[in-house]
Copies of this chain bind each other. A is one copy, B any other.
């Protein structure tokens, strides 16, 4: 046969998506697995294309094919289309290659006519149901196939309800509904000019045309542009027999999982309702029964279902979520898909299935969503207590975990409270680097402004500390020390709880449950390590973070930021002295005071890392971040440094920048004040040599940030190496070290071939690179990014998920150019994206050597890296 546009479900399989659409291919696959799927057929996407070529008309041979398949379906199911006793009814659904939810149209109960509705009443023994279905069908068909607005019918419904004194639709009797059907048909006749079609085949043809036409409705076109779906794919149409679970006590409907989706236990889990339609289960009017009860009522059907579940697991090699309907003791499987499950269940099922010989370790690894692991690492609130707790408000789930404590409104108060042994919650409008100590001291952090990548969010995730950010209903008055939500006001010392996994803020304290990293988790993560290619490092600035990360499997530090060290109380004064310094000598004198504390910082971190590589980024932020900008703080600093306050004010003015993100920071500081990086290089190397003398191995890497040009790197590196050589000479000892650079400025990626000649490594700073490539300030983009997401322009914030199409080009370009110019170069990523699974997958694909992320994301990154490696092997 030269032309074939219609395929019975037995003729297809899951590989035929582009011809049959996703839904059609899936129905075919299930049918061919031997499942008793309600029969039917699919009109192919090719037919859709031809439909448009034919001037939006169905052609004769297509109609003939369709009729043939109607007959075939009648045979299979043993009912007749439009029959007056037990009519075959169809659902008509669009189904394109890519899912376009809600964009195209569906018609249910097609085939209902004045005759057939009586048949349905008869076969179900439920007249009310039959006429309710009929009136729904008339409305749906008129809307979808004939473009009669739904509202025309709603008006009729309301009239009848008022007349008969029915409040709700469910108050209507079978008689009422019959009347409504009559009215509905009149509306149709009035609007269309012909009688409501009483020929089921005519209904089918009109509905099929409507589905094809819906492919090109404006909503669908816009949806496709925004979702990168080509316009010329076309949609398929799926025409499937409807089955009824409400045909009496030997009928029913239900949903079940092949294993327990909460715990992973290997036992059937689900529920069902006798004499009911699927809607009844969802509506919750009747309470469903436990699936095992089915065994008592219909033992054969139960056994059949059990076998089906088992076979489907064997076929799909995964836990299945099944929807079924029993029509007169005949079991129909309406849908089967891999079941959703908790992370704990996911891991248990994956490990069990490996042990059962059902799947390989690689398959097991691919089964678990990396992001979901974070649930397992943080404590959570006790579910029962949580239900009884009063919700105050909701913010962004910025950093997972659960925390209860007393509110404090600044770092100082929070630290003092912690010192008194209290549990503190730090509440701020937004945090800044000056709040670090307060954040460390608190159990959790709540901010009223800022997004998922605000300072509070980033730092809290780094610390593995619970944080709810950007709770914009919460009005924080830091001066008055109050937090207001609507009319409720909370003051210092009031107790609240934060759920960092949901973003919800609760009143009072709630019991916490510690996570159990059970045996199967350990087994699973061992398999992960066997598979991954990339090294996973961590971003850590303190020995405590470093230890945490090692416990989670980190293999080194990919980013040790030195600026956080600058804020500690024991050195901030010297740092400020350095910044206020009027000349190089004064600056050096202040730096001399910072040197020993920095050296101690590095000593402590190197020590806990026990020889694992530690990548130290030299000072990055603009200097003005370190000096106060309120009148009072400036006065205090002036007193402290014993200089006129005017001098401080002038410094603040001189350091002010219009766009600090693009200002005097990173290696630019070292070009103007080389002595700063020299001090840091000295501290790093002196600490490393001290440990070496003590027999502790150290692998220091020195990273120069914000480089955009070879000469910039060459100059700054020259200063650093010169200082290190001086240290070597002074101490009469040497140690291996590397000097490399962040690649974060777009120009650095463009010039990577030159820059690589002077760099031992590139570490991609994708946070800043995203800011500069898009021209989005991370601090400001919140104002419009939500609108961008809503309008489908950028679905995910590029600060959360790496923009592989755009920013990714820069990373790939830098990697290719860098390796060509310097084959030994070591490539890694230290931006926030280094802990995000899809971004990690991209890093693996472009061949990076490592990713680095905050400690609590290390297991996630390990899993994502393993998944990517497995996919690459496949």
Chain A contact residues, CB within 8 Å of chain B? 225-226, 657-664, 668, 671-672, 706, 708-709, 711-712, 714-715, 744-747, 750-751, 768, 771-777, 779-781, 783-784, 787-788, 791-794, 803, 805-807, 809-810
Contact = CB atoms under 8 A, between A and B. Distances in A.
B659 A747 contact: no
Given A711-B226, A711-B792, A714-B225, A807 B747 contact: yes
Nearest to A754: B805
Contact of A708 (B664, B708, B806): B806
Nearest to A712: B793
Contacts of A712: 788, 793-794
Contacts of A668: 784
B226 A793 contact: no
Contact of A672 (B225, B744, B751, B787): B787
Contacts of A659: 659-662, 777, 779-780
Given A658-B777, A715-B791, 10 more contacts: A225-B714, A659-B777, A659-B780, A662-B776, A662-B777, A708-B774, A709-B793, A711-B794, A745-B774, A750-B773
A581 to B, nearest CB: 16
A664 B805 CA distance: 23
A663 B780 contact: yes
Given A671-B791, A779-B658, A750 B806 contact: yes
Contacts of A747: 773-775, 803, 806-807
Contacts of A791: 671, 715
B664 A784 contact: yes
Nearest to A771: B662
A609 to B, nearest CB: 31
A793 B660 contact: no
A784 B668 CA distance: 7
A745 B768 contact: no
Contacts of A771: 662
Given A659-B662, A660-B658, A777-B658, A709 B794 contact: yes
Contacts of A711: 225-226, 792-794
B775 A768 contact: yes
27 contacts: A659-B661, A661-B662, A661-B777, A662-B776, A662-B781, A663-B781, A664-B783, A668-B784, A671-B788, A671-B791, A672-B783, A672-B784, A708-B773, A708-B774, A709-B794, A709-B806, A711-B794, A712-B793, A715-B791, A745-B775, A746-B772, A746-B775, A746-B810, A747-B774, A750-B810, A751-B806, A772-B773
Contacts of A658: 660-661, 777, 779-780
A768 B751 CA distance: 19
A792 B710 CA distance: 12
Contacts of A776: 662
Contacts of A805: 750-751
A787 B661 CA distance: 19
Top 5 A-B pairs, shortest CB-CB distance:
A662-B777, A659-B777, A658-B779, A747-B806, A663-B780
Contacts of A773: 708, 745-747, 750, 772
Contacts of A657: 777, 779-780
Contacts of A783: 663-664, 672
A619 to B, nearest CB: 14
B708 A775 contact: yes
A775 B706 contact: yes
A790 to B, nearest CB: 10
Nearest to A782: B664
Contacts of A775: 661-662, 706, 708, 744-747, 768, 772
A509 to B, nearest CB: 34
A510 to B, nearest CB: 34
A748 to B, nearest CB: 9
A793 B746 contact: no
B714 A780 contact: no
Contacts of A794: 709, 711-712
A845 B745 CA distance: 26
Contacts of A787: 671-672
A44 to B, nearest CB: 29
A449 to B, nearest CB: 11
A807 B745 CA distance: 12
A433 to B, nearest CB: 14
A657 B751 CA distance: 31
Most chain B CB inside 10 Å of its own CB: which residue of A712, A747, A768: A747
Nearest to A776: B662
Contacts of A660: 658-659, 777, 780
A352 to B, nearest CB: 44
A299 B849 CA distance: 80
Nearest to A658: B779
A646 to B, nearest CB: 15
A184 B513 CA distance: 90
A784 B671 contact: yes
Contacts of A806: 708-709, 747, 750-751
A712 B792 CA distance: 9
Contacts of A784: 664, 668, 671-672
Contacts of A768: 775
Contacts of A751: 805-806
A622 to B, nearest CB: 9
B662 A662 contact: yes
Contacts of A746: 746, 772-773, 775, 810
Most chain B CB inside 10 Å of its own CB: which residue of A715, A745, A793, A809: A793
B793 A671 contact: yes
Nearest to A707: B775
Contacts of A750: 773, 805-806, 809-810
Contacts of A781: 662-663
Contacts of A744: 775
A431 to B, nearest CB: 14
Nearest to A654: B783
